[in-house]
A = this chain, B = another copy of it.
Amino acid sequence: MKENNKTQTFTKVECADRLSAVEDAIYVLGGKWKLRIIVALVSGYHRFNEIQRSVKGISPRVLSNELKILELNGLVKRTVDSESFPVLVEYIPTDYAETLKELVSMLGNWGVNHKKRISSEIDL
Protein backbone atom coordinates (compact mmCIF):
# COMPACT_ATOMS: atom_id res chain seq x y z
CA MET A 1 0.00 0.00 0.00
CA LYS A 2 1.24 3.43 -0.90
CA GLU A 3 2.26 5.89 1.79
CA ASN A 4 -0.81 8.00 2.17
CA ASN A 5 -1.21 11.61 3.08
CA LYS A 6 -4.69 11.16 4.55
CA THR A 7 -4.66 10.10 8.19
CA GLN A 8 -5.15 6.38 8.61
CA THR A 9 -6.64 5.76 12.02
CA PHE A 10 -7.57 2.07 11.78
CA THR A 11 -5.47 -1.08 11.59
CA LYS A 12 -6.52 -3.61 8.97
CA VAL A 13 -8.45 -5.78 11.42
CA GLU A 14 -10.16 -2.81 13.02
CA CYS A 15 -10.98 -1.59 9.55
CA ALA A 16 -12.58 -4.91 8.58
CA ASP A 17 -14.61 -5.00 11.82
CA ARG A 18 -15.67 -1.46 11.20
CA LEU A 19 -16.70 -2.24 7.66
CA SER A 20 -18.74 -5.20 8.78
CA ALA A 21 -20.46 -2.99 11.38
CA VAL A 22 -21.28 -0.44 8.70
CA GLU A 23 -22.69 -3.26 6.58
CA ASP A 24 -24.80 -4.51 9.50
CA ALA A 25 -26.25 -1.04 9.87
CA ILE A 26 -26.98 -0.78 6.16
CA TYR A 27 -28.55 -4.25 6.25
CA VAL A 28 -30.98 -3.20 8.99
CA LEU A 29 -31.67 0.30 7.69
CA GLY A 30 -31.13 -0.04 3.97
CA GLY A 31 -33.53 -0.85 1.19
CA LYS A 32 -36.28 1.25 -0.27
CA TRP A 33 -38.59 1.66 2.72
CA LYS A 34 -37.08 1.15 6.17
CA LEU A 35 -35.72 4.63 6.86
CA ARG A 36 -38.82 6.22 5.35
CA ILE A 37 -41.03 4.21 7.70
CA ILE A 38 -38.83 5.12 10.68
CA VAL A 39 -39.03 8.80 9.71
CA ALA A 40 -42.83 8.51 9.53
CA LEU A 41 -42.95 6.83 12.95
CA VAL A 42 -40.74 9.37 14.72
CA SER A 43 -42.68 12.17 12.98
CA GLY A 44 -45.70 11.02 14.96
CA TYR A 45 -47.59 8.72 12.57
CA HIS A 46 -48.48 5.64 14.59
CA ARG A 47 -51.50 3.99 12.98
CA PHE A 48 -51.15 1.67 10.02
CA ASN A 49 -53.21 3.80 7.62
CA GLU A 50 -51.47 7.00 8.68
CA ILE A 51 -48.08 5.42 8.10
CA GLN A 52 -49.16 4.08 4.73
CA ARG A 53 -50.38 7.51 3.62
CA SER A 54 -47.18 9.13 4.86
CA VAL A 55 -44.85 6.68 3.08
CA LYS A 56 -45.93 7.33 -0.51
CA GLY A 57 -46.17 4.34 -2.81
CA ILE A 58 -45.88 1.54 -0.26
CA SER A 59 -48.40 -1.30 -0.46
CA PRO A 60 -50.15 -2.53 2.73
CA ARG A 61 -48.52 -5.92 2.32
CA VAL A 62 -44.98 -4.54 2.08
CA LEU A 63 -45.61 -2.08 4.92
CA SER A 64 -46.89 -4.87 7.15
CA ASN A 65 -43.82 -6.95 6.37
CA GLU A 66 -41.39 -4.08 6.92
CA LEU A 67 -43.04 -3.23 10.25
CA LYS A 68 -42.57 -6.85 11.35
CA ILE A 69 -38.86 -6.73 10.49
CA LEU A 70 -38.47 -3.40 12.31
CA GLU A 71 -40.25 -4.95 15.31
CA LEU A 72 -37.85 -7.93 15.25
CA ASN A 73 -34.97 -5.46 15.27
CA GLY A 74 -36.42 -3.71 18.30
CA LEU A 75 -37.12 -0.44 16.50
CA VAL A 76 -40.93 -0.54 16.66
CA LYS A 77 -43.38 -1.80 19.23
CA ARG A 78 -46.85 -2.88 18.16
CA THR A 79 -49.37 -1.97 20.85
CA VAL A 80 -52.99 -3.11 20.97
CA ASP A 81 -55.49 -1.18 23.08
CA SER A 82 -58.31 -3.72 23.28
CA GLU A 83 -60.36 -1.59 25.66
CA SER A 84 -61.06 1.01 23.01
CA PHE A 85 -63.63 0.38 20.31
CA PRO A 86 -62.73 -0.29 17.58
CA VAL A 87 -59.55 -1.94 18.88
CA LEU A 88 -56.69 0.53 18.51
CA VAL A 89 -53.48 -0.86 17.05
CA GLU A 90 -50.50 1.44 17.08
CA TYR A 91 -46.90 1.18 15.96
CA ILE A 92 -44.77 3.13 18.40
CA PRO A 93 -41.10 3.84 17.76
CA THR A 94 -39.09 2.44 20.67
CA ASP A 95 -36.57 4.49 22.64
CA TYR A 96 -34.03 2.51 20.68
CA ALA A 97 -35.34 3.95 17.39
CA GLU A 98 -34.57 7.40 18.82
CA THR A 99 -30.89 6.47 18.56
CA LEU A 100 -31.39 6.71 14.80
CA LYS A 101 -32.63 10.30 14.92
CA GLU A 102 -29.18 11.83 14.79
CA LEU A 103 -28.13 9.44 12.03
CA VAL A 104 -31.21 10.21 9.92
CA SER A 105 -30.75 13.92 10.49
CA MET A 106 -27.12 13.65 9.41
CA LEU A 107 -28.08 11.69 6.28
CA GLY A 108 -30.67 14.40 5.56
CA ASN A 109 -28.13 17.20 5.93
CA TRP A 110 -25.71 15.40 3.69
CA GLY A 111 -28.45 14.83 1.08
CA VAL A 112 -29.50 18.51 1.08
CA ASN A 113 -25.89 19.60 0.74
CA HIS A 114 -25.19 17.05 -2.00
CA LYS A 115 -28.21 18.12 -4.05
CA LYS A 116 -27.06 21.77 -3.87
CA ARG A 117 -23.56 20.75 -4.87
CA ILE A 118 -24.64 18.65 -7.82
CA SER A 119 -27.16 21.20 -9.12
CA SER A 120 -24.61 24.03 -8.88
CA GLU A 121 -22.22 21.91 -10.95
CA ILE A 122 -24.88 21.37 -13.60
CA ASP A 123 -25.51 25.14 -13.72
CA LEU A 124 -21.85 25.87 -14.46
Chain A residues in the interface with B (C-beta under 8 A): 1-2, 4, 6, 8, 10, 15, 18-26, 28, 30, 35-36, 39, 42-47, 50, 73-74, 90, 93, 96, 99-100, 102-104, 106-115, 117-118, 121
Which among A1, A43, A47, A117 has the highest number of chain B CB atoms within 10 Å? A43
- Which of B26, B73, B74, B113 contacts A30, CB < 8 Å? B26
A-B contact pairs, 6 of them (CB 8 A): A10-B43, A21-B107, A25-B114, A26-B111, A99-B113, A103-B107
CB-based contact B104/A22 at 8 Å: yes
Closest to A102 in B: B106
Specify which chain B residues have a CB less than 8 angstroms from the CB of A47 in the assembled complex: 2
CB-based contact A1/B111 at 8 Å: no
- Which of B4, B90, B114 contacts A44, CB < 8 Å? B4
